[in-house]
Amino acid sequence: MVIDPMAVEMENFRIYGHAPYSVVVVYGEYDPHPFEGVEEPLRRVAKNVKSILLPKCGHTPWIERFAKDDFYKLFQEEVAL
């Protein structure tokens, strides 16, 4: 049996009306997608949203020259298992 993670998330939203976990949004200063278009909807459904803006960065911080080191450091700090 294959479980579709997106279907599970949609079911959580349907049942709980929100995401029962925290969300960290890492956003590039030069990302072509409006930050508000990502952050505002998340704040309506997630219990806690933390936003981090990376300077000199676009949409793919994990491969960008000026941002990838900061991105991986943030990722390790935020995910810290």
Give me the tens of pLDDT residue by residue for the chain, a chain 81 residues long. Answer: 666 666 776 676 677 666 667 788 889 999 998 888 888 877 877 778 889 999 999 999 999 999 999 999 999 998 875
Q: Give me the half-sphere count of Cα atoms (radius 13 Å) on the Cβ side of residue 71.
A: 20
**Residue 43 burial (10 A CB sphere; 0-12, 13-18, 19+):** middle
Stated pTM of the model:
0.68
Residue spans per domain, the chain: 24-32+41-81
**Residues of 3-12 as b/e, b for ≥16 C-beta within 10 angstroms?**
eeeeeeeeee
Three-class secondary structure of residue 73 per DSSP: helix
